[in-house]
Structure 1
Amino acid sequence: MLHLQAPQAQDLPAFFMTLTLSAFFIILGELLIRKFGVKAFAVRKIIHLGMGIIVFFVPDYFESNFYPVAAALFFVVLNGFNVLTGRLLSLHKETVEPERGKGVNSYGSVLFPLVFLILALLLWESHKWILQTSMLIMGVGDSLAAIVGSTAGRRHIEHLTKSPKTVEGSAVMFAISFILILLCLSIFQPDSTGSLFSRPMWVVVLFALFLALVATAVEALLSYGLDNFFIPLSIAYALYVLEVNHTVLLENFLLGGLFALILALFSIKVKFLNNSGAVATFLLGTTIFGIGGITWTVPLLTFYLLSSVLSKLGKQRKAKFDLVFEKGSQRDAGQVYANGGIAWILMVVFSLTNDPAVFFAYMGTLAAVQADTWATEIGTMWPDPKAWLITSLKEVPVGTSGGVSVPGTSGAFIGSLFICASALPVDAGWLYQFGVVQSLLLIGVSGLVASLVDSFFGATVQAQYYDPIREKVTERTHSAAPDGSLVENRLLKGVAFVNNDLVNTLCAVSGSALAYIVIANLSIFK
Structure 2
Amino acid sequence: MLNLQAPLPKDLPSFFMTISLVLSVILLGELLIRRFSVSAFVVRKIIHLGMGIVVFFVPAYFTSNFYPLLAGLLFLLLNGLNLFRGWFLSLHSETVEPGGQQGLSSYGSMLFPFVFMLLALFLWDDNKWILQSAMLVMGVGDSLAALVGSTAGRRHIEHLTESPKTLEGSATMFVVSFLLLLMCLFFFSGDINGALASQPFWIILLFALFLALVATAVEALLSRGLDNLFIPVAIAYVLYVLEMNHTVQLGNFIVGGLLALFMAVFSVKVKFLNNSGATATFLLGTTIFGIGGIAWTVPMLTFYLLSSVLSKLGKKRKAKFDLVFEKGSQRDAGQVYANGGIAWILMIVFSLTGHPAVFFAYLGTLAAVQADTWATEIGTMWPNPKAWLITSFREVPVGTSGGVSVPGTSGAFIGSLFICTSALLVNVGWLYEFGVLPSLLLIGLSGLAASLVDSFFGATVQAQYFDPIREKVTERTHSIAADGSLVENRLLKGVPFVNNDLVNTLCALSGSALAYIVVVNLGIF
Q: Could you say which TM-score interval applies, normalised by the shorter chain?
A: over 0.9
Please state if 1:399 is matched with 2:399: yes
Q: Indicate if the aligned counterparts of 1:83 and 1:105 stay in contact, CA closer than 8 A.
A: no
Residues 307-316 or 455-464, more deviating:
455-464
Q: Indicate if the aligned counterparts of 2:104 and 2:163 stay in contact, CA closer than 8 A.
A: no
Partner of 2:49: 49
Partner of 1:172: 172
Tell me the amino acid that sits aligned with residue 409 of structure 1: T
Q: Runs (4+) of structure 1 moved beyond 6 Å?
A: none
Rounded Cα–Cα distance in structure 2 between residues aligned with 1:207 and 1:39: 37
Q: Indicate if the aligned counterparts of 2:94 and 2:102 stay in contact, CA closer than 8 A.
A: no
Task: State the shift of 1:425 in Å.
Answer: 1.3
Partner of 1:157: 157
Rounded Cα–Cα distance in structure 2 between residues aligned with 1:318 and 1:53: 55
Partner of 1:437: 437
Rounded Cα–Cα distance in structure 1 between residues aligned with 2:290 and 2:491: 43
1:268-289 Cα shifts (integer Å, max 9, x gaps): 1110001111111111111111
Partner of 2:283: 283
Q: Indicate if the aligned counterparts of 2:324 and 2:473 stay in contact, CA closer than 8 A.
A: yes
Tell me the amino acid that sits aligned with residue 420 of structure 2: C
Give ranges in structure 1 of 5+ residues lacking alignment. Answer: none
Please state if 1:335 is matched with 2:338: no
Task: State the shift of 1:449 in Å.
Answer: 0.8
Counterparts of residues 235-384 of structure 1 (less than 5 Å): 235-384=235-384
Partner of 2:412: 412
Counterparts of residues 114-125 of structure 1 (less than 5 Å): 114-125=114-125
Partner of 1:58: 58
Partner of 1:490: 490
1:70-89 Cα shifts (integer Å, max 9, x gaps): 11122222222222333432
Rounded Cα–Cα distance in structure 1 between residues aligned with 2:102 and 2:194: 49
Task: State the shift of 1:487 in Å.
Answer: 1.7
Task: State the shift of 1:105 in Å.
Answer: 2.4
1:463-501 Cα shifts (integer Å, max 9, x gaps): 112222222221111111212121222222211111111
The 3 A distance-change label for structure 1 pair 505 and 17 is same
Tell me the amino acid that sits aligned with residue 42 of structure 2: A
Tell me the amino acid that sits aligned with residue 164 of structure 2: P
Rounded Cα–Cα distance in structure 2 between residues aligned with 1:434 and 1:219: 41
Partner of 1:462: 462
Residues 85-94 or 255-264, more deviating:
85-94
Task: State the shift of 1:386 in Å.
Answer: 1.3
Rounded Cα–Cα distance in structure 2 between residues aligned with 1:393 and 1:203: 59
Task: State the shift of 1:103 in Å.
Answer: 5.8
Seq. identity, %:
79
The 3 A distance-change label for structure 1 pair 5 and 460 is same
1:242-301 Cα shifts (integer Å, max 9, x gaps): 111111110010000011111111111110001111111111111111111111000000
Partner of 1:110: 110
Partner of 1:147: 147
Rounded Cα–Cα distance in structure 2 between residues aligned with 1:512 and 1:462: 21
Rounded Cα–Cα distance in structure 1 between residues aligned with 2:386 and 2:189: 64
1:19-41 Cα shifts (integer Å, max 9, x gaps): 12211222222222222222111
Tell me the amino acid that sits aligned with residue 78 of structure 1: L
Give ranges in structure 2 of 5+ residues lacking alignment. Answer: none
1:407-443 Cα shifts (integer Å, max 9, x gaps): 1111111110110001111121100000000000000
Rounded Cα–Cα distance in structure 2 between residues aligned with 1:135 and 1:96: 22
SS at match of 1:36: coil
Rounded Cα–Cα distance in structure 2 between residues aligned with 1:285 and 1:68: 35
Rounded Cα–Cα distance in structure 2 between residues aligned with 1:467 and 1:431: 48
Partner of 1:203: 203
Q: Indicate if the aligned counterparts of 1:370 and 1:415 stay in contact, CA closer than 8 A.
A: yes
Rounded Cα–Cα distance in structure 1 between residues aligned with 2:448 and 2:455: 11
Rounded Cα–Cα distance in structure 2 between residues aligned with 1:102 and 1:48: 18
Rounded Cα–Cα distance in structure 1 between residues aligned with 2:254 and 2:126: 25
Partner of 1:10: 10
Partner of 2:516: 516
Tell me the amino acid that sits aligned with residue 140 of structure 1: V
Task: State the shift of 1:62 in Å.
Answer: 0.7
Using the size of structure 1 for normalisation, the TM-score is 0.97
Rounded Cα–Cα distance in structure 2 between residues aligned with 1:448 and 1:151: 52
Rounded Cα–Cα distance in structure 1 between residues aligned with 2:494 and 2:266: 37
Tell me the amino acid that sits aligned with residue 204 of structure 2: V
The 3 A distance-change label for structure 1 pair 481 and 268 is same
Residues 68-77 or 342-351, more deviating:
68-77
Rounded Cα–Cα distance in structure 2 between residues aligned with 1:508 and 1:366: 7
Partner of 1:188: 188
SS at match of 1:194: coil
Tell me the amino acid that sits aligned with residue 288 of structure 1: I
The 3 A distance-change label for structure 1 pair 127 and 19 is same
Q: Indicate if the aligned counterparts of 2:96 and 2:150 stay in contact, CA closer than 8 A.
A: no
Q: Indicate if the aligned counterparts of 2:109 and 2:225 stay in contact, CA closer than 8 A.
A: yes
SS at match of 2:522: coil
Alignment coverage as a number of residue pairs: 523
Rounded Cα–Cα distance in structure 2 between residues aligned with 1:380 and 1:481: 26
Tell me the amino acid that sits aligned with residue 307 of structure 2: S
The 3 A distance-change label for structure 1 pair 492 and 34 is farther
Q: CA RMSD in A?
A: 1.5
1:356-376 Cα shifts (integer Å, max 9, x gaps): 000000000000000010111
The 3 A distance-change label for structure 1 pair 218 and 494 is same
Task: State the shift of 1:458 in Å.
Answer: 1.1
SS at match of 1:328: coil
Partner of 1:32: 32
Tell me the amino acid that sits aligned with residue 191 of structure 1: D
Q: Indicate if the aligned counterparts of 2:195 and 2:248 stay in contact, CA closer than 8 A.
A: no
1:34-80 Cα shifts (integer Å, max 9, x gaps): 22222111111011101111111111111111111111122222222
The 3 A distance-change label for structure 1 pair 67 and 409 is same
Rounded Cα–Cα distance in structure 1 between residues aligned with 2:360 and 2:53: 43
Q: Indicate if the aligned counterparts of 1:197 and 1:204 stay in contact, CA closer than 8 A.
A: no
Rounded Cα–Cα distance in structure 1 between residues aligned with 2:208 and 2:53: 20
Residues 78-87 or 148-157, more deviating:
78-87
The 3 A distance-change label for structure 1 pair 102 and 392 is farther
Task: State the shift of 1:111 in Å.
Answer: 1.1
Rounded Cα–Cα distance in structure 2 between residues aligned with 1:18 and 1:490: 55
Residues 471-480 or 432-441, more deviating:
471-480
Partner of 1:23: 23
Residues 169-178 or 9-18, more deviating:
9-18
Tell me the amino acid that sits aligned with residue 440 of structure 1: L
Rounded Cα–Cα distance in structure 2 between residues aligned with 1:402 and 1:78: 47
Task: State the shift of 1:93 in Å.
Answer: 2.8
Task: State the shift of 1:459 in Å.
Answer: 1.2
SS at match of 1:521: helix
